[in-house]
Amino acid sequence: MPPRPARVLIPALLTLAIVQGLAASVAVAQTQDASVILDTVKVTSQRADTLEAARARLQQVPGAGNVIDLSAAGQGRVVGTADVLAYQPGMHAQSPGNEGVKVSIRGSGINRAPGAHATGVSVSLDGLPLTFSGGTPYELLEPLWLSRVEVLRGANGFDRGALALGGAIDYVSRSGLDSPGLELRYEAGRYGYQKRSLGYGGVAGEVDYYAAYTDSEYDGYQQHAAGQGRGAMANVGWQLGPDVQTRFFLRYRQTEHDTPGRLTRAQIRDNPRQANPAFLALDARRPQPGSTWIGNVTTFALDADSTLRAGLVYHRFPMDLNESLYRQQLDYAALNGTLDYRHRHTLFDRESVTSLGLRVTHDLDADVRETLRFASNGYPAGTRTRDFHHRGTDSVLHAGNDLVLTPALHLVTGLALVHTTREVQVTWPASGGRIAQEGWDYAPRLGLTWQRSPQLQLFGNLSRSVEPPHPWSMIWGSSTYFPAGSGASTGRQRVPVALDNQTATTLELGARGESVLGRWEVTAYNAQLRHELLTVERQPVPNLIVAEANASPTVHRGVEAGLDSTLWQADAGTLTLRQAYTYSDFRYRHDARFGDNRLPGLPRHYYQAELRHAHPSGVYAALNTEYASNMAVDYANSFYADARVIFGARVGFDAPDGRWQGWLEARNLGDRHYAATVTPGYDDGGRDMARSTPGEGFGLYAGLRLRLD
């Protein structure tokens, strides 16, 4: 664990830089050209225009967000979501060694186990909902298929019908408009890692098209951690006339990986590459035999001031879980849709934009067949133990208005109505139980943006968020079991339990702008939660049970800050520094058992930075670092995972004509042993329990990308 000064110094330096930037912005009287060049890349004018439009939309939101340009993805290893969301304030994304990355924004899904469907954030692909009632599947989030990522943190996802605590993430696909020509990519490195990709796009008259194929494989950092994935995507856009445009989407991908399991702190310090013996004995693994995604988005320009956007997607994503004594075969399918209307008009003799929207996610299937993986108590492997289903529908009707009080001051208001249904039933044996519940909830919003100067914007909002419980958690959170004499079903959960919606009232204040120090942002928030949906490992492997329940009142508060600076610029090149710092204070509010304890699962301080030099010839070199403070591993705060400081480096060449890129990257230069994620226990009594997945050790990786028009 680093000494205490190191834990305080890094955040203090960034905070000081932000304060200086704020002061400098207020003093500046005219617009300065302080744009930051993070990576030297060749992009089409279409991509640049689209990015600027996304950033302009973010400026209209009275809250914090991120626009992530993935045109720079060729300049380093891009395994999954953790690489995509790196160096972003307010974002915490850590990989357990496979694609099941644990993503948290403002404490959303703070204690969810990695590898499971993510929760607490409403995720979309090209504006079409990917998140369903049971969380967010991850197998379709291939980074090399993406053009950019748009993040609206916290309650700021309101206008997209996203009411989860963490907000909204929209992964936007490449198209023939921004990725024309043929692109070939190959990267490889330590631990058996290889990734191959081919993409091709173009424009023919009023039609544009893009298609890609990607496959990857790895042996994994830990023992028993090998995996692979392969899949293809395509989209076709058609400008049907001056007032109508449509785009069709297709994705298919299958993945599988072995599950090495969690380790104790002592095991991580001694040998983080070992597997948990219980997971190894079970041959724990997670095949996902193939996810299919078919969708369409059509936009109508009704007149000069009004647009209507409609989207519909069918998603089928079966799973085959083999991570305990039981095999669970899940048939998942969902039908999701969106409808958004925007109208520019005058209100009280002032310019105004009113929006109406509907977002629906509907489970078509969520059926589970459970059998024994091994012979047990006289029953052979394959014996049927339970059949059950857990389905839900979430419908969000939202209305909002952006009113121009003055050219610099905007008032943003809104109200969302939320209707949810949940149906959970054990259908075999016949003595199983059933629960069905439905209800309404609401989420109002009030916000302001003030463009204090061309270089400074202040913003704030008071909002309510609503997150319904997950249907699967209603069965796994049950404490009612089949009694002795129930055959192979004995000891399995029998009767589902009812759970309440998680709600939060959040006050958010912040500022963003540009100064002599670069592009910066800082946001502070305080969220008061009721019925927070928290998970806990109730029973370890081999009969693993991770349950979810409503907690007593909790509070999530924090600070999110980012600064992108050009430190030096001359004929010999450019030296830039990008920094992101997130402070998180999540805790109970006078809980009867745990008082004001911190919620386990995330570090209180998290900092990432990269210093980069780029030469006009295309040669570049970068050094990066990541710091995270220690993490509680149980609700009693009786034991903590270690803090960490890790370093990395990259060198490469980006041809000025954009034809090819090559790079070499070193990760975790000091081979630091640390816990990347924590799955919490209830009260470990100060014992060192197996609750952490280790972060990846030292590794070298190289890649090459070729582009042909």
534 part of a folded domain: yes
- Burial level of 490, CB count in 10 A (0-12/13-18/19+)? middle
pLDDT of residue 45: 58
pLDDT of residue 20: 35
Give the count of beta carbons closer than 10 Å to the beta carbon of residue 255. Answer: 23
pLDDT of residue 72: 64
Is the pLDDT score of 446 beyond 60?
A: yes
Q: Residue 118: pLDDT band by 50, 70, 90 thresholds? A: confident
Question: What are the tens digits of pLDDT across the range 261-316?
Answer: 999 999 999 999 999 999 999 999 999 999 999 999 999 999 999 999 999 999 99
* Residue from 476, 531, 529 nearest 504 by CA: 529
What gap in Å lies between CA 667 and CA 222, rounded to an integer?
16
What gap in Å lies between CA 606 and CA 11, rounded to an integer?
9
Structure tokens at 364: 């078509």
Is the pLDDT score of 33 beyond 80?
A: no
Mean pLDDT over all residues of the chain? 90
10 part of a folded domain: no
428 pairs with which residues across the strands? 387
What gap in Å lies between CA 518 and CA 533, rounded to an integer?
39
97 three-class SS: coil
pLDDT of residue 76: 83
269 part of a folded domain: yes
Q: How many domains does the chain have?
A: 1
Is the pLDDT score of 105 beyond 80?
A: yes
pLDDT of residue 32: 36
CB-CB contact of 630 with 603 (8 Å): yes
451 part of a folded domain: yes
699 pairs with which residues across the strands? 667
* Residue from 535, 674, 550, 632 nearest 119 by CA: 535
Give the count of beta carbons closer than 10 Å to the beta carbon of residue 349. Answer: 6
22 part of a folded domain: no
296 three-class SS: strand
Q: Residue 2: pLDDT band by 50, 70, 90 thresholds? A: very low
* Residue from 361, 344, 346 nearest 307 by CA: 344
pLDDT of residue 73: 63
Whether the link from the prior residue into 289 is cis, omega within 30° of 0, is no
Tally of residues, the chain:
709
Is the pLDDT score of 421 beyond 60?
A: yes
Question: What are the tens digits of pLDDT across the range 470-484?
Answer: 999 999 888 889 999
Is the pLDDT score of 35 beyond 90?
A: no
Structure tokens at 199: 């993409």
- For the residues 243-261, what does the mean pLDDT come to? 97
Amino acid, single-letter form, for residue 605: H
To the nearest 10°, the Cα dihedral for 629, 630, 633, 634? -90
CB-CB contact of 488 with 372 (8 Å): yes
3 part of a folded domain: no
* Residue from 123, 157, 120, 113 nearest 529 by CA: 120
> Domain of 385: which CATH number?
2.40.170.20
Looking at residue 468, what DSSP letter applies?
P
Question: What are the tens digits of pLDDT across the range 350-376?
Answer: 999 999 999 999 999 999 999 999 999
| Domain region containing 420 | 38-708
pLDDT of residue 242: 94
More confident of the two residues 111 and 687: 687
31 part of a folded domain: no
Is the pLDDT score of 423 beyond 50?
A: yes
79 pairs with which residues across the strands? none
What gap in Å lies between CA 301 and CA 266, rounded to an integer?
61
19 part of a folded domain: no
The 3-class SS string of 221-289 reads CCCCCCEEEEEEEEEEEEEEECCEEEEEEEEEEEEEEECCCCECHHHHHHCCCCCCHHHHHHCCEEEEE
CB-CB contact of 599 with 553 (8 Å): no
Separation of CA 257 from chain center? 20
